[in-house]
Structure 1
């Protein structure tokens, strides 16, 4: 389909490392790519951020690049 681009997602990472929400912060210009990026990130596991040595839920920006080769 010739679609490529970068999606910037704002992801809520919980204290256990799971992603509980993913919002499109910067679109690729293609709804299909934006949705695919959101679905993928919600299945990922992350290393949670910490405050005073304790894992905390936080928002983080995650770029996803779709490139045709």
Structure 2
């Protein structure tokens, strides 16, 4: 059985014990009522660290996109797994900005 045939699990970011803080809401965005969801594509190391990331889908507001990217730099992830071994992987992370 080749490595590609082994079961693959994407990286995870939702476990509470990872303590991933939400992004800071930019003050000017709050004053202007800017809301939206930023979808980030994050490449995660086998150790669970973000290696690089990019905006897959913009919130429509550059300040919110920048805040999401700044937050992801400090996050921790459950690494992807292939056949039970931790490996590098990619995950999409939605970050919601809502004034409510």
Give the TM-score band, short-chain normalised: over 0.9
**Consecutive aligned runs of 4 or more in structure 1 exceeding 2 Å deviation:** none
Paired residues in the alignment total: 69
Please give the TM-score of this superposition, normalised by the length of structure 1. Answer: 0.95
C-alpha RMSD of matched pairs (Å): 0.7
**Structure 1 stretches lacking a partner, 5+ long:** none
Which has the greater radius of gyration?
2
Q: Deviation string for 1:32-61 (max 9, x for gaps)?
A: 100110110111000001001110111110
The Cα shift of 1:3 comes to 1.0
Larger helix share, 1 or 2: 2
Q: Deviation string for 1:1-29 (max 9, x for gaps)?
A: 21110000000111000101110000000
